[in-house]
Chain A
């Protein structure tokens, strides 16, 4: 049975106009993608392939040059639609507000009753393990905890589509694994659709139901891989043989594209190491 399409990109391209001596930059597309309701989709690709542009177009932070973006059947263009939450790679916590006020930031504007606001913020902080740090300032927290503050700020708005733009990019490997577990828990409990942009193949392989591998710029999907992981998965699946197979397959698809992105087009055409070993 076909699953509900929650968000859709159809023939989306993004070209940044040139200026002066700089020619226009074709950053993305054409891209077609159906995000199914409640799925966890990860996007991987070489540096500069347009992954973040794709996220910003889907969020409504950028207008596509061509094509259409829809979320819950309505067109998205130039404004973030209600029900979409975004977590960025950079530390986007507000240093002048406490953790509690950071989390409450978006909700304060929505006209929610004070008692309901308090309950939702307290719940989000408890969910992200920040209850004991509610009165602390972001500068008193580690990088991982500050990112959890940003996730809590998104969670209190109860988004139905959560867009994560390399949210663990600045964290160490162990913290990233643990944060991955937390994101999986969040995904299961909220039932939201999640789109994760990441440069880490292992992160994508561990977290996602489906992984879209993108070409070098202008980024297009060259393959979409279904991981087949159970819904109740966690970071222990990195020890599964299938995990290695998925990351190996992703790298096979992306190696040439990454070399192209680095400007080594001749190497990109050569056989990958696995093929040489088989000879």
Chain B
């Protein structure tokens, strides 16, 4: 492990240990926060019981659908907008202020239209995550060096070949940033939407546990989501670093 990695791990372990100590010594009331070891033990028990399997499947399934739709549609919309400068000029102010609008205000409208199905959650999730992917695609395409297009012409590549063999790899770092942001937004939007008004899912579970004062269950579910979100992001970060090393000179 690198020195930075050791420091990072030490900070996390210290914080967990401090929380454990504070909970065990009564510095923090156990009715508010339970010790991390108790959270872990509650999570193991919960997973072993299989009682949240359906919710895990539903929530992670919706998140996967939201990520896939946001990334694929966001990329496609980004490519189209990039090809139409006037449309882009018209839409730029919307993109610049998009995240200033709380998308969740439309949730009741979506429920009125689609009912308490996964659809409103998927739509809220896509609406939250897609713009990050569109902006990342536009940024990436803006930064494709013009000389690469000339190289493509020298090699007599067609438009599709140029896009696939040169422009797509050249924009890859920006697209990857878009994917990472879309993943984060998808987790946030789906869990929050389930929390508010969904009949099922991990977000709903956390909300119910909170309402029923089931601290062990609530913290176990929070810990589970933390582990999943961190693992996904760590995986994406590792991939990103591997590609970045090649481009910045520290590679194999």
Which A residues are closer than 8 A to B by beta carbons?
A: 56, 59, 61, 79-80, 84-86, 88, 90-92, 94-96, 105-106, 109, 135, 137, 139-140
Binary CB contact string for chain B from 210 to 235 against chain A (1 if under 8 A, 0 otherwise): 00000000000000000000000000
Cβ contact within 8 Å between A139 and B246 = yes
Report A-chain residues with C-beta under 8 Å of the C-beta of B161.
109
Flag if A94 contacts B166 (CB, 8 Å).
yes
Residues of B within 8 A of A137 (CB): 246-247, 249, 251-252
CB of A106 within 8 A of CB of B155, answer yes
A-B CB contact pairs (8 Å), 9 listed? A59-B154, A61-B150, A88-B147, A90-B147, A94-B166, A95-B246, A137-B247, A137-B249, A139-B251
A92→B148 contact, CB < 8 A: yes
Q: Which residues of B sit under 8 angstroms from A95, Cβ to Cβ?
A: 246-247
- Could you tell me if B249 and A90 are in contact, using CB atoms closer than 8 angstroms? no
Residues of B within 8 A of A85 (CB): 154
CB distance from A232 to the nearest CB of B (A): 30
B252 neighbours in A (Cβ, 8 Å): 135, 137
CB distance from A90 to the nearest CB of B (A): 4
- Check: B83 CB closer than 8 A to any chain A CB: no
A86–chain B nearest beta-carbon distance, Å:
5
- The answer to whether B246 and A80 touch across the interface, beta carbons within 8 angstroms, is no
Q: Which residues of B100-140 have CB atoms within 8 Å of chain A's CB atoms?
A: none
| Residues on the B chain within 8 Å of A92, using CB | 145, 147-148, 150-151
Can you name the residue of chain A whose Cβ is closest to the Cβ of B165?
A105
Cβ of B156 < 8 Å from any Cβ of A? yes
Contact, CB under 8 Å: B151 / A140:
no
Give chain B nearest CB distance to A64 CB in angstroms: 16
Docked CA distance A59–B251 (Å)? 35
- Is A105 a contact partner of B246 (Cβ separation < 8 A)? no
Nearest CB in chain A: distance from B34 CB, A: 48
CA distance A95 to B153 in the complex (A): 19
Closest to A135 in B: B252
B169 located at the interface, meaning its Cβ lies under 8 Å from any Cβ of chain A in the complex: yes
Interface residue total, chain B, C-beta cutoff 8 A = 22
Q: Are A139 and B154 in contact (CB under 8 A)?
A: no
A80 nearest CB neighbor, chain B only: B154
Closest A residue, CB atoms, query B157 = A109
* Bound Cα distance from A135 to B251, whole angstroms: 11
Q: Which residues of the partner chain B approach A61 to less than 8 Å between Cβ atoms?
A: 150, 153-154
Query: Which chain B residues in 135-187 approach chain A with CB under 8 Å?
Result: 145, 147-148, 150-151, 153-157, 161, 166, 169-170, 172
Q: How far in angstroms is the closest Cβ of chain B from A20? A: 14
Q: Which of B148, B156, B247, B251 has the most CB of A within 10 A?
A: B156
A41 CB to nearest B CB, Å: 19
A109 to B156, CA, bound (A): 10
What is the distance, in angstroms, from A61's C-beta to the closest C-beta of chain B? 6
Whether the Cβ atoms of B169 and A94 lie closer than 8 Å is yes
Docked Cα-Cα span, A90 to B145, in Å, equals: 9
**Are A96 and B247 in contact, CB atoms less than 8 angstroms apart?**
yes
Q: What separation, in Å, do the CA atoms of A80 and B153 have in the docked complex?
A: 7
B150 pairs with A86, CB closer than 8 A: yes
A37 to B39, CA, bound (A): 80
B169 and A96 within 8 A (CB): yes
Across-interface contacts of B243 in A (CB, < 8 A): 96
Complex CA distance for A94 and B156, rounded to whole angstroms: 17
A33 to B150, CA, bound (A): 24
Measured CA separation A163–B252 after assembly (Å):
33
Scoring B166, B169, B249 by chain A CB atoms within 10 A of each residue's CB, the highest score goes to: B249
Known A90-B145, A96-B247; 20 more pairs at CB < 8 Å? A56-B150, A61-B153, A61-B154, A79-B153, A80-B153, A90-B147, A94-B148, A94-B169, A94-B170, A96-B170, A96-B172, A109-B155, A137-B246, A137-B247, A137-B249, A137-B252, A139-B246, A139-B248, A139-B249, A140-B251
Q: Which of B148, B154, B172 contacts A86 (CB 8 A)?
A: B154
For residue B157, give the distance in angstroms from its CB to the closest CB of chain A.
8
Beyond A96-B169, A105-B155, is A88–B150 a contact (Cβ under 8 Å)?
A: yes
Nearest first, the 9 A-B pairs at minimum CB distance are A139-B249, A90-B147, A96-B169, A92-B147, A137-B246, A95-B247, A106-B155, A86-B154, A92-B151
Q: In the bound complex, what is the Cα–Cα distance between A96 and B170 (angstroms)?
A: 8
Chain A residue numbers with a CB within 8 Å of B154 are 59, 61, 80, 84-86
Asked if residues A88 and B151 are in contact (CB atoms below 8 Å), the reply is yes
Contact residues in A for B248 (Cβ distance below 8 Å): 139
Least Cβ–Cβ distance between B173 and chain A, in angstroms: 9
A105 to B156, CA, bound (A): 12
**How far is the CB of B85 from the nearest CB of chain A, in Å?**
13
Closest chain B residue, CB of each to CB of A78:
B153
